[in-house]
């Protein structure tokens, strides 16, 4: 698959969120509550806290509560703390509502500034899957929606151009922006590892080749 991230598809985030809802919520509903205290790749956050953050971010979008600094670390921590005493079921209900209702609101923002939130929700779902020991943490059935959204986000976040050859996908992915006088970086590896690099997730036990750019240059969440 070759992804073309130059033209924004406003409904791509909605499709990703609803696909992830249908994949993730059954897993979350059947997982024992004790597992939610497991630590994730997000420093200091348990699976429960990651999901509380995801739910809060999406419902803020749904309700239009997008004041300045809303997605900065301090605001995220405040949203998580607000939900510390909530029953787990309430957090999961809020998350399911957000995954269902946020997409059309994101589509309505013509500047695309909220598209990266949808991608971040999918990455956080991977964080939780990894904490639970589930296979395919940053891969799975929604990957074919996440990769085009990564292409859009990598350009909007002004990462340098990279051409990726994925071991588990046909064709190439074209990410980031061309830099005058600088040839595109090259990546050889699997799709999940590419996602880990761009989202700043741990690369332990991965195997890949990256030339022409550093991992730090490719981060879309800083």
Q: Which residues of the chain have pLDDT under 70?
A: 1-6
Predicted confidence at residue 4, as pLDDT, reads: 42
Quick count: other Cβ atoms within 10 Å of Cβ 42? 19
Predicted confidence at residue 2, as pLDDT, reads: 37
pTM value is: 0.94
List the strands of the sheet with 162-166, edge to edge: 172-175, 162-166, 185-189, 209-211
User: Judging by beta carbons within 10 Å of its beta carbon (0-12, 13-18, 19+), is residue 30 exposed, middle or buried?
Assistant: exposed
Predicted confidence at residue 5, as pLDDT, reads: 40
Predicted confidence at residue 68, as pLDDT, reads: 84
Predicted confidence at residue 1, as pLDDT, reads: 36
Rounded to whole angstroms, the Cα distance separating 162 from 186 reads 6
């Amino acid at each position: 698959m070759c992804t073309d991230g130059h033209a924004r598809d406003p409904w791509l985030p909605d499709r990703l969120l609803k696909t992830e809802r249908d994949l993730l919520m059954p897993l979350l509903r059947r997982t024992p509550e004790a597992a939610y205290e497991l630590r994730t790749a997000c420093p200091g956050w348990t699976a429960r806290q990651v999901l509380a953050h995801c739910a809060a971010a999406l419902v803020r979008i749904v309700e239009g509560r997008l004041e300045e600094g809303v997605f900065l670390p301090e605001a995220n921590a405040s949203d998580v703390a607000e939900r510390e005493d909530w029953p787990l079921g309430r957090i999961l209900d809020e998350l399911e509502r957000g995954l269902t209702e946020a997409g059309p609101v994101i589509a309505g923002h013509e500047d695309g500034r909220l598209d990266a939130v949808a991608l971040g929700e999918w990455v956080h779902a991977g964080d939780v899957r990894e904490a639970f020991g589930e296979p395919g943490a940053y891969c799975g059935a929604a990957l074919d929606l996440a990769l085009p959204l990564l292409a859009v986000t990598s350009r909007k976040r002004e990462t340098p151009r990279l051409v990726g050859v994925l071991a588990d996908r046909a064709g190439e992915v074209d990410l980031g922006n061309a830099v005058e006088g600088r040839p595109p970086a090259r990546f050889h590896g699997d799709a999940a590892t590419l996602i880990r690099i761009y989202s700043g997730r741990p690369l332990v036990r991965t195997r890949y080749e990256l030339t022409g750019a550093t991992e730090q240059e490719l981060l879309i969440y800083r």
